[in-house]
Amino acid sequence: MLNAVIVDYLTKNAGVDPAKFENPDLMVADLGLDSLGLVEMLFEVEDRFGFQIPDPMRFQAMTFADMVAAIEESVREHSNGQLAETPPVGSVAPAK
């Protein structure tokens, strides 16, 4: 689920080619994001889950799968082991 949320954000908001995510060895550095783009993506995730992800620049040297796993681990640590369902990153929350 978190993988889909991040891929959705990166393809829609950062212009990453969806075909890149078919490579299981995809490196975060190969996404073509500058440091600001990476931080903006993480801000979106942080907003969804309500906490700050430490040391975002560490992800640049990881595979995409390792980054998603590390983010999921952080989310679970801050959510009593849960990974709550959330709307796609970058989507507009429904009006109340």
C-alpha atoms less than 13 angstroms from C-alpha of 91 in its C-beta half-sphere: 13
Question: What's residue 58's pLDDT?
Answer: 93
Structural domain that includes position 48: 2-78
pLDDT band for 6, please (50, 70, 90 cuts): very high
Structural domain includes residue 83: no
**pLDDT higher than 80, residue 86:** no
Structural domain includes residue 92: no
C-alpha atoms less than 13 angstroms from C-alpha of 53 in its C-beta half-sphere: 26
Identify the CATH number of the domain in which residue 35 sits.
1.10.1200.10
pTM metric for this prediction:
0.80
Structural domain includes residue 89: no
User: Are the beta carbons of 14 and 41 closer than 8 angstroms?
Assistant: yes
**pLDDT higher than 90, residue 21:** yes
Specify the higher pLDDT residue, 19 or 46: 19
Domain tally, the chain: 1
**pLDDT higher than 60, residue 93:** no
Residue entry with tokens 């991040």: 6
Which amino acid is present at 84?
A: A
Please, which residues have CB within 8 angstroms of residue 69's CB and are 6 or more apart in sequence?
A: none
| Residue 26 DSSP class | -
Dump pLDDT digits (tens) for 46-59: 888 888 888 888 99
